[in-house]
Chain A
């Protein structure tokens, strides 16, 4: 065994009582050994201090920017219906016709994020459209398969966005800002009927939440397409995403424009890709189809400036779990992407079953 390994075992306590005794005796008698150990210990402590300090600095400047940052703010790109903000006044407000000219209004939410809220009229219209779509679907389905009736009506969610699977055991990731204070969370897509999901872990700092779909048998027999990038991507890399800014999946592509996010935040990339309310929590992929990040938000003051959380932080969030068996269950695939070399349309086809429309209900 190398001396360094011996030192580590002693420092981490991975050493038997007798070996420990022998080790300490040698520290006493062998000055050279003791000196080497001292150096080793100093170095390890210094690595820890440096990481701790960097981390703390990051947290403090994040707090500062969120509380006191005057200029630009990130808008979280989740869809939020008018009902969430105004509750029972909704019916009254709906009667006010003047609002009809307003497409969207931008309001400051309690979290300090700028949220794009849809005006009540748009929401109303949308629900009509949705109902129309339901009946249309019903007709089509009726033609193709009379026995299969999956058209059910559900109450509209308070917030909708995107999430994507971490493996085919039902675990998926989405944005923390979307599911914060959620009462219940449901997911759906073309392959999966509306299924409820429960929170596994979250990291508000990184804006990451991991959920598990309770019944995902529908996905069991589909090949899991994602692999996760552990090192960082490069500026200029072509990227694409799939998300649910509306009920059907929408594809968007662009490029990685900076290695850091809002206010030089090193946990994020800046991306130039069209993202809209509802894209939050969506997967960000490189040309090979490898996951390189999670869509986070966009800048209010500049068009085409989006942000995505780097993929290695997903691993970091999983690593911080205390439950070892859960940690094992959540191990991410970091091998080369199985989508590499495929045509984009084929890549999208394969990932589609694993990208979900996430519906969040609040009390």
Chain B
């Protein structure tokens, strides 16, 4: 395979359109940067991989926003987010002692992105729990309908309901239960 080099803009466009090849190239491009940073600051390579993947999720979700605009180099953006996420984790673990601030790194202010991300993260964790409580087949029915946009006929066939009205009733019950879990049970 020939080696393609992508520009920052290529990466962003690729992420926007869920291009797997671009995502893979992006992953490889900045992994070592984040790995080095985390490992130099009391982290393991496993922790680095986790932080890096979370960073790319933040980037991905920001890129999806219609208002997204990159005001600095992609590398700087990625590094800034990774750094903030890692610092947060270190503080959470309560051992900031061996943290090397080092030379003033090339970072940008990503507070908004991080705050957004953390808020969303807690919502998603809550939805995770709700979905687990809901169980099958509800989980898959709701996802098929709301995420993968399957028609009620298709869902009915897939789950072996005798007609799409039965499937509809089932879906309705699932949704009501999910609503109750999500909004009422804290």
CB distance from A29 to the nearest CB of B (A): 23
The contact string, 1 if C-beta is below 8 Å from chain B, for chain A 30-56, is 000000000110011011111111001
Please state if A39 and B128 are interface contacts (CB–CB under 8 Å): no
Q: Is the interface of A mostly helix, strand, loop or mixed?
A: helix
A85 within 8 Å of B (CB atoms): no
Interface centre among A51, A312, A331 (most CB of B within 10 A): A51
Question: Would B24 and A50 count as touching, CB distance under 8 A?
Answer: no
Please state if A51 and B123 are interface contacts (CB–CB under 8 Å): no
Chain B interface helix/strand/loop/mixed: helix
A102 within 8 A of partner (CB): no
A198 beta carbon closer than 8 Å to chain B: no
Q: Which of B20, B31, B57, B144 contacts A204 (CB 8 A)?
A: B20
Are the C-beta atoms of B53 and A60 separated by less than 8 Å?
A: yes
Contacts of B144 in A (CB 8 A): 319
| Chain A residues, CB < 8 A from B1 | 110
Of all chain B residues, the one with the shortest Cβ separation from A181 is B1
* Partner-binding segment picked from B74-82, B83-91, B105-113, B178-186: B178-186
Does B98 reach chain A (CB closer than 8 Å)?
A: no
Q: Chain B's nearest CB lies how many Å from the CB of A232?
A: 8
Q: Which one of A50, A52, A204, A334 contacts B131 once the chains associate, using CB atoms below 8 Å?
A: A50
- Whether the pair A49, B20 counts as a contact (CB closer than 8 A) is no
A49 to B123, CA, bound (A): 9
Q: Please state if B143 and A51 are interface contacts (CB–CB under 8 Å).
A: yes
Chain B residues whose C-beta falls within 8 Å of the C-beta of A331 in the assembled complex:
157
Residue of B nearest to A65 (CB): B49
Contact in complex: B147, A334 (CB < 8 Å)? no
Chain A residues with Cβ below 8 Å from B160 are: 230, 334-335
Evaluate whether A4 and B175 lie within 8 angstroms (CB atoms) in the complex, with A50-B128, A59-B23 already known: yes
Residues of A within 8 A of B128 (CB): 50
Q: Are A63 and B127 in contact (CB under 8 A)?
A: no
Q: How many residues on A have C-beta within 8 angstroms of the other chain's C-beta atoms?
A: 38
Name which residue of chain B comes closest to A110, CB basis: B1
Interface size on B, residues (CB 8 A): 42
Q: Which residue of the partner chain B has the closest CB to A11?
A: B146
Within 8 A of B (CB), among A260-319: 312, 315-316, 319
Please tell me if A57 contacts chain B, counting CB pairs below 8 Å.
yes
Instruction: State whether the Cβ of B8 lies closer than 8 Å to any Cβ in chain A.
Output: no
Q: Choose among A46, A49, A61 the residue with the greatest number of B CB atoms under 10 Å from its CB.
A: A46
Task: Tell whether, in the assembled complex, residue B60 and residue A44 are in contact, meaning their CB atoms are under 8 Å apart.
Answer: no
Which residues on the B side are within 8 Å of A51 (C-beta)? 143, 147
Is A67 among interface residues, defined by CB-CB distance under 8 A?
yes
A205 close to B (CB within 8 Å): yes
Given A46-B127, A64-B49, A231-B136, do A205 and B182 touch, yes or no (CB 8 Å)? no
> With A and B bound together, what is the CA distance between A363 and B68 in angstroms?
43
A2 CB within 8 Å of chain B? yes
- Measured between beta carbons, the chain A residues less than 8 angstroms from B124 are 46, 49-50, 53
Residues of B near any A CB (own CB < 8 A): 1, 20, 23-24, 27-28, 31, 49, 53, 56-57, 60, 120, 123-124, 127-128, 131, 136-137, 140, 142-144, 146-150, 154, 157-160, 168, 172, 175-176, 178-179, 182-183
